[in-house]
A = this chain, B = another copy of it.
């Protein structure tokens, strides 16, 4: 029975690949999932082995204060455990933060991850979208954003690198923004969920500036980095006073027993980070160059493991291209429902070389089709 159940589950889980597999009669294994942007190195073996060996943890309540996870993150990022809140994925952190901060008006540079707006609206805040312009290659122009900030703004939420644009804002620009916001008593929340999947990794992070700016909050997760969206581990970094209030507000035991041991992955004892860095440094540029050769797309320069593209000069739109690719065994993300985008935009993951080569072949096929 269990095998059957696993398949049923898989079918219902987020992975469109299961539905698509049935719909198009292509086996799951043969499918290329370019719609999800998690680390293609897959779940670290070390984590799988540890879960298998510690299955009895199921019968213990998780540590509600996640001391072990905080210790690991503290050592990894060289920050104080009191500056760390742990949650059930980045999602819990986003909602918890907005609940605690109760902002009146939130500026959200967009297109971006849609849960920021949902969280802002949930607490009754006005969500104002600052357009990240295609004319700027979908890179955030911080001066423009600063000009957009009016007196009743009390919070800014941005994603860096940003989803779905894959653009990275440099630390100097971000400091300019944080400094401006600090003077205006505006909180700046930076979601760095993809930061380890950029060339340079944590050197692009604002973590090292955390103690300089009390208005800076950083959101992180293990989801993309370790390819474990099923496990649910996210965290927030900020000043001790705020973090204390978040712990007081948080629902107890939201981080499950297996999630609570996943911090061991941060030690890089099996070289997972090194292999990730090698893949990032080789494949982002390589895949971007390959995509640029296809004259049917405008390809926006990616800074992390996915790429935003605009279809041009062909009759496909994002829906029909998605359908056409799915029928050949490739799933992509139709990006038309992101704010300020339209049905000419798609988002495509960047994976290992073999998969990327196969993606290019199939794309070529479909476009010739």
Residues of A within 8 A of B (CB): 1-3, 5-6, 8-10, 12-15, 36, 38, 42-43, 46-64, 67-68, 88-89, 91-92, 95, 115, 122, 227-232, 249, 251-254, 256-261, 264, 267, 269
Contacts and interface: CB of A to CB of B under 8 A. Distances in A.
A36 B62 CA distance: 13
A160 to B, nearest CB: 21
B53 A13 contact: no
Pairs of residues from A and B, 10 with the lowest C-beta to C-beta distance, nearest first: A230-B257, A14-B61, A61-B229, A2-B50, A12-B63, A13-B60, A58-B230, A12-B67, A6-B54, A15-B60
A92 B251 contact: yes
Contacts of A43: 55-56, 58-59
Contacts of A38: 59
A63 B60 CA distance: 25
A259 to B, nearest CB: 7
A65 to B, nearest CB: 8
A206 B341 CA distance: 49
B228 A115 contact: no
A53 B4 CA distance: 12
Contact of A253 (B2, B53, B59, B229): B229
Contacts of A14: 60-64, 253
B92 A6 contact: no
Contacts of A228: 58-59
A256 B253 contact: no
A51 B52 CA distance: 8
Q: Which one of A57, A60, A61, A232 has the greatest number of beta carbons of chain B within 10 Å?
A: A60
Contacts of A46: 2
